[in-house]
């Protein structure tokens, strides 16, 4: 049986009060619709169609990286049944099962989706509705059941705004996720009327239509209602994001990572962390970041799309993005590593040091106040406080090479392109404009001059001026 996925993402999301399309708001660092696409992909569907409308272009652009998606535009948006109808041309001639997902229900698990598909197939139903029993059903459509010979069967779905006060007491809700047999589906959807408070075409009305026609409508109730939470407001966005983070934290802790304060750890879904690493409060680990074992990540650190080895200490308030750090390295506090910064084993980067497109070789040190950009720094190099690579000449970015064992004194400017040879020394306060040969000492500061009695002399003049 073929599976076709349709994801509804055309609605305005009025309650978000946002200029951005609702489905592009991020949950755990990823637009919410990407979470839905990831779950859908696990079903290996024959086709995946996204219904866009409000902010259609920005949604399409955001999903440009997903190959094989079909987009249909629903304009204007007259409700979820109307949205499904817009996919009819895209699915013409297809048979099998249509799985309908909502772009604003991002936590749905693959396991739940698979059980929906299975139940729908084994029951040979015309429609199968995913439901959940929740403590606070407000805002959701309620599952109204009626007794038949075969038990309490679903009779229809009552939307919150149209429900009677008795129906509002029902705690079983519609998740907005369904399996439909494609046979006759669109004709049936076309018969839905917009006779309700919102004057919209409600897809849930299909349940009653099918029941009246004597067609099979099944339900699958999720065991963990957290995973079908819909996002309609910023408060719900925060609540769902918290659920994702809690899950991730729990997985990491179960695998041997210490998270000192899970409430303030912001760890993205794709991040991996080795055992015995300690994450202090107020840390943000994002994107495709990997962190090795026995590391310590201190408060105020943000790491994005970076690879970090084992036994690395990242002290307070460092920002590390698109960087690579090998084993046994110490970074920070207050260091900034970005854009292909590459710190090799046993190296040390201290406070107020910035590295960009720079290799800092094994065992090398830049402990205080430095900018190292577009530099190739060898092994066991010592860079003094205030070392600056002048890598940009106003037109091009140029490379600084500092070979193994070199010693660069404090307050040195290296005007690139330039090379400091193996084991060479650079005196403090030097401006390096020419290559320094291996083993040489380079100094450019002028000879020091002392003016005897200068202070006394100046003070005397000052007093005279005052008097």
Catalytic residues: 368
Q: Which stretch binds Ca ion (CB under 5 A): 32-40, 99-107, 278-286, 406-414?
A: 99-107
Contact criterion met (CB below 8 Å) for 275 and 257: yes
Three-state DSSP state, 401: strand
Q: Which does 105 bind (CB under 5 to 8 A by kind): ligand UD1, Ca ion, none?
A: ligand UD1
Q: Which of 159, 172, 218, 354 binds ligand UD1 (CB under 6 A)?
A: 159
d(CA 246, CA 168): 30
Q: Does 49 bind ligand UD1 (CB under 6 A)?
A: no
The reply to whether 159 sits near Ca ion by the rule CB under 5 A is no
Q: Please tell me whether residue 351 adopts helix, strand or coil conformation.
A: strand
Q: Which of 4, 25, 82, 298 binds ligand UD1 (CB under 6 A)?
A: 82
**Residue 410: exposed, middle, or buried by beta-carbon count in 10 A (0-12, 13-18, 19+)?**
middle
Q: x/- contact string, 261-280, with Ca ion (CB under 5 A)?
A: --------------------
- What is the torsional sign of CA 367, 369, 370, 371? positive
Q: Does 9 bind ligand UD1 (CB under 6 A)?
A: yes
* Contact residue for Ca ion among 104, 167, 354, 362 (CB under 5 A): 104
How far apart, in whole angstroms, are the C-alpha atoms of residue 231 and residue 36? 12
400 makes contact with ligand UD1 (CB under 6 A)? no
For every residue of 284-350, DSSP letters joined together read: EEESS-EE-SS-EE-TT-EEES-EE-SS-EE-SS-EEES-EE-TT-EE-SS-EEETT-EEPTT-EEE
DSSP string, 167-194: HHT--EEEEEEEEEESTTHHHHHHT---
Nearer Cβ to ligand UD1 (9/252): 9
Question: Which one of Ca ion, ligand UD1, none interacts with residue 58, CB within 5 to 8 A by kind?
Answer: none
CB of 10 to ligand UD1, least distance (A): 3
Q: How far apart are CA 345 and CA 334, in angstroms?
A: 20
Residue 9 binds which of ligand UD1, Ca ion, none (CB < 5-8 A, kind-dependent): ligand UD1
Pairing of strands 375-377, 425-426: unpaired
Closest CA to 98 of 47, 42, 51: 47
**Range 356-363, long-range pairs (CB < 8 A, 24+ positions):** 357/397, 358/389, 361/404, 362/326
- Cβ-closest residue to ligand UD1? 141
Min. distance of Cβ 83 from ligand UD1 in angstroms?
Answer: 4
Q: Which residue is nearest to Ca ion (CB)?
A: 230
Cβ nearer to ligand UD1, comparing 10 with 436: 10
Q: What is the rounded CA–CA span in Å between residue 205 and residue 110? A: 26
For ligand UD1, which is the closer residue by CB, 14 or 457?
14
Contact pattern for ligand UD1 over residues 220 through 239, marking x by CB under 6 A:
----------x-x-------
Find the shortest distance in angstroms from Cβ 36 to Ca ion.
12
Residues forming contacts to Ca ion in the complex (CB under 5 A) are 104, 230, 232
Residues interacting with ligand UD1, by CB under 6 A? 8-11, 51, 53, 74, 77-80, 82-83, 102-105, 140-141, 157, 159, 173-176, 202-204, 230, 232
């Amino acid at each position: 049986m073929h599976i076709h996925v349709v994801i509804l993402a055309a609605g305005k999301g009025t309650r978000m009060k946002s200029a951005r399309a609702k489905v592009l708001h991020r949950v755990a660092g990823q637009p919410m619709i990407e979470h839905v696409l990831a779950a859908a992909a696990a079903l290996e569907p024959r086709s995946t169609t996204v219904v866009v409308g409000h902010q259609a272009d920005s949604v399409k652009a955001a999903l440009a990286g997903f190959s094989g998606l079909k987009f249909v535009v629903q304009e204007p948006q007259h409700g979820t049944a109307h949205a499904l109808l817009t996919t009819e041309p895209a699915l013409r001639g297809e048979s099998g099962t249509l799985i309908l997902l909502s772009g604003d229900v991002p936590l749905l698990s693959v396991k739940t989706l698979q059980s929906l598909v299975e139940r729908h197939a084994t029951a040979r139903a015309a429609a199968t509705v995913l439901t959940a029993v929740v403590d606070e059903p407000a805002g959701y459509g309620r599952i109204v059941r009626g007794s038949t010979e075969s038990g309490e069967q679903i009779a229809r779905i009552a939307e919150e705004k149209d429900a009677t006060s008795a129906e509002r007491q029902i705690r079983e809700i519609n998740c907005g996720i369904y399996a439909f047999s494609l046979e006759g589906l669109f004709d049936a959807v076309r018969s839905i009327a917009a006779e309700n408070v919102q004057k919209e075409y409600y897809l849930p009305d299909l349940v009653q239509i099918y029941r009246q026609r004597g067609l099979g409508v099944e339900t699958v109730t999720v065991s963990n209602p957290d995973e079908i939470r819909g996002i309609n407001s910023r408060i719900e966005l925060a609540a769902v994001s918290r659920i994702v983070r809690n899950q991730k934290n729990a997985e990491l802790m179960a695998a041997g990572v210490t998270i000192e304060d899970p409430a303030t750890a912001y760890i993205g879904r794709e991040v991996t962390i080795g055992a015995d690493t300690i994450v202090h409060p107020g840390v943000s680990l994002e994107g495709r970041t990997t962190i090795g074992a026995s590391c310590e990540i201190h408060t105020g650190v943000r790491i994005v799309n970076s690879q970090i080895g084992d036994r690395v200490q990242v002290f307070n308030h460092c920002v590390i993005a698109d960087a690579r750090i090998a084993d046994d390295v110490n970074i920070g506090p207050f260091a900034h590593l970005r854009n292909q910064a590459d710190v090799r084993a046993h190296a040390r980067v201290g406070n107020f040091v910035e590295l960009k497109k720079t290799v800092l070789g094994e065992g090398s040190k830049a402990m205080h106040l430095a900018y190292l950009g577009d530099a190739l720094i060898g092994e066991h190099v010592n860079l003094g406080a205030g070392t600056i690579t002048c890598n940009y000449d106003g037109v091009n970015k140029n490379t600084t090479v500092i070979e193994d064992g070199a010693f660069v004194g404090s307050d040195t400017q290296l005007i690139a392109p330039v090379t400091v040879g193996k084991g060479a020394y650079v005196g403090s306060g030097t401006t390096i404009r020419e290559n320094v040969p291996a083993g040489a000492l380079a100094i450019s500061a002028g000879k020091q001059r002392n003016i005897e009695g200068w202070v006394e002399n100046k003070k005397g003049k000052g007093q005279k001026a005052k008097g």
